């Protein structure tokens, strides 16, 4: 990326009340029923560091790339950064639940719903995350909502959807956390995701963070792109980077404090927002080239070459953006100087 100049991005999105990333949508819905209700979706995306997430399969950009992470561990990390304790049942393993596992998960759900807080779950009516917001124990059904449907799901169907795996997360408690601590935690998560691989071995099929761009580039060079999977993941990563740019922009405008560190944070945040807007602009063009669901023609010479240019520019801007996040983290870790 050295020497590659990237023009700054033009913002085209002004509605941040929706997202293509359904786990964060579900988490935001759950938070609305807690003592921290009122957090915007932009803040949830930013302070969980989901706005900085990218995972790509290096063989074909397969459709499930966006979900190739340790759900219980990372969702727990994210929610702890917002000031919540959680419990989970199940994990991504393509194995249907045993009767005992199903009973445990339903118990978690009922306990949470009895306290008035929905539960997050996977593959209710489609392999995406959704929320469980009610239950009828007499008829053994859960009231559920995801991007496909809002309706009833029999108890025995939980964890036995299209991909037959159980995953449930519930919020069990809340503790105070200030904005400075949340920002520091989010930046640590973002920087870790950018540089540290979640997948063992250099031959692992998925890459995350900056290496995910290399994986994406590799697939386009080989002309082995799955049109559907690429269309899905392009839309999801574009969405996260739009939120990253907006989160950092709002941070630069709304961050409280009058210390020199606070001034520096606002400046760095504005600069980082510009870099992520540039990333979002490149990915937005790719999203238009490879629209969901048919995905365009990513293996054609013209579209593949254009995509390679856009991905190289996106990676250059993201690399600069991450460097700015690291500088923000350094500022937050300095002793606060009052003026």
| Of 4-18, 61-75, 126-140, the least confident | 4-18
> Model confidence over 275-323: pLDDT tens digits?
999 999 999 999 999 999 999 999 999 999 999 999 999 999 999 999 9
| Mean pLDDT in residue range 201-213 | 88
Q: Give the total residue count for the chain.
A: 339
Q: What is the percentage of the chain residues whose pLDDT exceeds 90?
A: 92
Kindly state the tokens that stand for 321.
């953006």
The answer to whether 103 touches 110, Cβ cutoff 8 Å, is no
| C-alpha angle 179-255-266 in degrees, rounded to nearest 5 | 120
Convert the pLDDT of each residue in 111-138 to its tens digit: 999 999 999 999 999 999 999 999 999 9
Report the pLDDT averaged over residues 156-163. 96
Contact residues for 101 (Cβ-Cβ < 8 A; gap 6+):
89, 90, 159, 166
Are the C-beta atoms of residues 156 and 49 closer than 8 Å to each other?
A: no
CATH superfamily, with its number, for domain 87-174: Streptopain (SpeB) (3.90.70.50)
Residue range 38-67, pLDDT digits in tens: 999 999 999 999 999 999 999 999 999 999
State how far the Cα of 214 lies from the Cα of 315, in Å rounded to an integer.
8
Neighbouring residues of 9: CB distance < 8 A, sequence distance ≥ 6: 245, 274, 276, 277, 278, 279, 280, 281, 282, 317
The token duo for 256 is 């409280």
Helix (H, G, I), strand (E, B), or coil: what is residue 127? Answer: coil
Sign of the dihedral through C-alpha 324, 326, 329, 330:
negative
Q: Check if the beta carbon of residue 291 is closer than 8 Å to that of residue 239.
A: no
Q: What are phi and psi of 149, to 5 degrees?
A: -155, 155
**Could you tell me which residues are beta bridge partners of residue 153?**
142
pTM: 0.94
Least confident of 2-11, 26-35, 150-159: 2-11
**How many whole angstroms from its chain centre is CA 213?**
16
d(Cα 247, Cα 13) in Å, to the nearest integer? 13
What are the extents of the domains in the chain? 87-174, 178-332
pLDDT score at 9 = 53
Is there a contact between 328 and 269 (Cβ–Cβ < 8 Å)? yes
Q: Which residues pair with 88 in a beta bridge?
A: 169
Rounded CA-CA distance 220/97 in Å is 37
18 phi/psi in degrees, rounded to 5: -140, 165
Q: Tell me: pLDDT of 200 over 80.
A: no
Residue 168 makes CB contacts below 8 A (sequence gap 6+) with: 88, 89, 90, 105, 108, 109, 119, 120, 121, 132, 158
Domain covering 178-332, topology? 1.20.120
Per-residue model confidence (pLDDT) at position 2: 39
Strand order from edge to edge, sheet including 119-122: 84-90, 167-174, 119-122, 129-136, 141-145, 150-154
């Amino acid at each position: 990326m050295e020497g590659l100049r990237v023009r700054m991005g033009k913002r085209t999105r002004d509605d941040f009340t929706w997202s293509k990333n359904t786990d964060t949508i579900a988490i935001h819905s759950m938070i609305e029923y807690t003592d921290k209700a009122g957090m915007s979706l932009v803040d949830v995306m930013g302070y969980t560091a989901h706005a900085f997430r990218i995972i790509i399969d290096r063989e074909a950009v397969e459709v499930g790339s966006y979900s190739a992470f340790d759900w219980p561990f990372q969702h727990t990390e994210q929610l702890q950064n917002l000031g919540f304790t959680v419990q989970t049942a199940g994990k991504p393993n393509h194995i249907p639940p045993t009767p005992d596992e199903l009973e445990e998960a339903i118990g978690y759900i009922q306990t949470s719903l009895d306290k008035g807080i929905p539960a997050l779950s996977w593959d209710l009516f489609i392999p995406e995350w959704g929320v469980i917001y009610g239950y009828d124990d007499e008829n053994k059904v859960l009231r559920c909502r995801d991007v496909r449907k809002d309706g009833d799901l029999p108890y025995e169907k939980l964890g036995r959807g299209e991909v037959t795996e159980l995953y449930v997360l519930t919020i069990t408690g809340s503790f105070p956390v200030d904005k400075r601590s949340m920002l520091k935690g989010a930046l640590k998560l973002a920087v870790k995701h950018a540089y540290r691989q979640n997948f063992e071995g250099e031959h692992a099929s998925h890459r995350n963070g900056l290496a995910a761009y290399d994986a994406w580039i590799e697939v386009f060079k080989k002309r082995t792109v799955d049109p559907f999977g690429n269309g899905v993941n392009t839309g999801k990563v574009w969405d996260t980077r739009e939120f990253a740019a907006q989160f950092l922009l709002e941070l630069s405008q709304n961050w409280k404090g009058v210390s020199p560190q606070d001034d520096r944070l606002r400046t760095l945040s504005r600069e980082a927002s510009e870099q992520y807007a540039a990333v979002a602009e490149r990915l937005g063009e790719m999203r238009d080239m490879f629209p969901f669901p048919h995905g365009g023609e990513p293996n054609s010479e013209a579209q593949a070459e254009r995509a390679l240019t856009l991905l190289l520019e996106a990676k250059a801007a993201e690399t600069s953006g991450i460097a700015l996040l690291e500088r923000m983290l350094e500022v937050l870790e300095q002793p606060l100087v009052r003026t």
